[in-house]
């Protein structure tokens, strides 16, 4: 009986060594390291199994010595069953495949040195502004970030001329708060010359207010409020896939392909409108687009020639630009400090302007532009139905949200403090 107990004890020690080795091997296999298995196996053989085998070899084991092996087999079967057929015992392992899910993060529209942020959202900066000195004049410059804003154009109640009800309310002589207020108004600024100046055409919501002129500089806006600028009739403008709902023209280019137009020379001032008292030095405004497709507005009240305006736009980054309205009574600019969903104020303004930008809240005689905020999620955007082909009637462009997981259009107007 004592001999049996002695042999059982030795068998248990040997079995424990084998089990530990097996566990270490399995752990290393799951980690994918054969080197660890090899080193641990060598250590166990040298410190556990080797001495035991050397001792047992000098003794004669009884017939029930098979007790040494069945616990190892049993434990191995159990462990293999738990781990699965795909993993081998010892140093042999089956390669595993790792599936990696890549999450694409859209970079934010970030602030830039020299520019002051007026409004921002979950996407980043929407509107920022700065002052640029050129030729002794300081220009107020406003920038709309292309990825966070959209733009709409409005007809005035006097100019460009239209009959009552001809132009839908979404493009009428005042901000359409029931429509544009859903997105949030973040900036407003003046449009171009009046119709009698023969400075170009204007089209909105399928209504031609003035025919477009080949060669004139044109800003085009599509159903989603994206913008393009170029010479009307030039190759590739505004693009085959750009479904415009509005066009506004005003004379020739100030800047084209990054270069100032030769016509911006002070000697050619008569090409750029009729200034008061025929003085080429007058208040001027203009818009341009930079290399990142951001839209830039620049204006100054005072004695400004057209070349100064072009240079100021170029300093702000514009690679394409056109003039807007001139003379002290017309350039008007405003930017809010948060999206407005009801009539409110625009603290960022053009110094010495004749009018407060709130004139656009209730209605104005001349055309103007309204900038709106895109929704926070990148997967959503504001858009409108677009124009149906071969339909020669007014087609209202009411905004709605489009995209994956966009919430229904809802807004609760809060009282201003």
Write out residues in the chain with pLDDT < 70, as ranges: 1-104, 390, 408-417
Query: What pLDDT shows up at residue 187?
Result: 98
Q: Using CA atoms, how far apart are residues 263 and 267, in angstroms rounded to an integer?
A: 8
pTM of the model: 0.74
Q: Using CA atoms, how far apart are residues 288 and 322, in angstroms rounded to an integer?
A: 6
- pLDDT tens-digit series, residues 50-72: 544 444 444 444 443 444 444 44
- Work out the number of other CB atoms within 10 angstroms of the CB of residue 259: 11
Query: What pLDDT shows up at residue 268?
Result: 96
- For the CA atoms of 44, 46, 52, 57, the dihedral, rounded to the nearest 10 degrees, stands at 130
Query: What pLDDT shows up at residue 86?
Result: 36
Q: Using CA atoms, how far apart are residues 380 and 45, in angstroms rounded to an integer?
A: 65
- pLDDT tens-digit series, residues 380-411: 999 999 999 767 789 999 999 999 878 755 54
Which residues, 6+ apart, have CB-to-CB distance to 118 below 8 Å? 126, 127, 128, 129, 142, 186, 187, 335, 336, 337, 348
Which residues, 6+ apart, have CB-to-CB distance to 124 below 8 Å? 108, 109, 110, 145, 147, 148
Query: What pLDDT shows up at residue 30?
Result: 42
Per DSSP, 333 falls in state: E
H or E segment and range at residue 52: helix 50-56
Query: What pLDDT shows up at residue 392?
Result: 74
Query: What pLDDT shows up at residue 58?
Result: 43
Greatest Cα pair distance in the chain = 129
Query: What pLDDT shows up at residue 362?
Result: 95
């Amino acid at each position: 009986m004592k001999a049996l107990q002695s042999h059982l004890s030795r068998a248990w020690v040997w079995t424990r060594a084998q089990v530990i080795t097996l566990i270490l091997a399995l752990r290393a296999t799951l980690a994918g390291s054969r080197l660890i298995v090899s080193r641990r196996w060598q250590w166990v053989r040298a410190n556990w199994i080797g001495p035991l085998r050397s001792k047992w070899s000098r003794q004669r084991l009884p017939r029930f010595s098979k007790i040494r092996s069945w616990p190892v087999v049993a434990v191995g079967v159990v462990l293999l069953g738990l781990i699965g057929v795909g993993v081998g015992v010892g140093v042999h392992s089956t390669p595993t495949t790792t599936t990696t899910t890549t999450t694409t993060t859209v970079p934010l529209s970030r602030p830039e040195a020299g520019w002051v942020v007026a409004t921002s959202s979950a996407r980043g900066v929407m509107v920022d502004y700065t002052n640029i000195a050129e030729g002794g004049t300081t220009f107020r410059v406003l920038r709309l970030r292309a990825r966070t804003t959209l733009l709409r154009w409005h007809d005035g109640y006097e100019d460009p001329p239209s009959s009552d009800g001809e132009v839908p309310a979404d493009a009428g002589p005042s901000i359409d708060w029931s429509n544009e207020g859903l997105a949030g108004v973040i900036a407003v600024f003046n449009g171009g010359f009046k119709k009698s100046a023969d400075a170009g055409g204007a089209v909105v919501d399928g209504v031609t207010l003035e025919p477009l002129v080949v060669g004139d500089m044109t800003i085009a806006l599509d159903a989603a409020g994206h913008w393009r600028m170029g010479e009307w009739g030039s190759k590739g403008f505004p693009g085959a896939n750009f479904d415009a709902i509005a066009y506004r023209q005003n004379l020739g280019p100030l800047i084209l392909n990054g270069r100032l137009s030769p016509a911006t020379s002070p000697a050619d001032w008569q090409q750029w409108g009729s200034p008061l008292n025929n003085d080429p030095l007058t208040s001027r405004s203009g818009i341009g687009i930079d290399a990142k497709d951001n839209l830039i507005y620049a204006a100054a009240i005072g004695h400004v020639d057209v070349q100064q305006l072009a240079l100021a736009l170029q300093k702000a980054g514009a690679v394409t630009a056109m003039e807007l309205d001139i003379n002290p009574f017309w350039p008007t600019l405003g930017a809010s400090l948060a999206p407005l969903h009801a009539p409110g104020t625009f603290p960022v303004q053009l110094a010495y302007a004749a009018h407060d930008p709130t004139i656009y809240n209730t209605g104005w005689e001349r055309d103007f532009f309204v900038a709106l905020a895109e929704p926070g999620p990148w997967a959503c955007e504001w858009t409108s139905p677009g124009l149906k082909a071969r339909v020669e009637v007014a087609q209202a462009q009411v905004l709605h949200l489009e995209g994956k997981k966009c919430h229904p259009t809802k807004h609760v107007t809060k009282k201003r403090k």
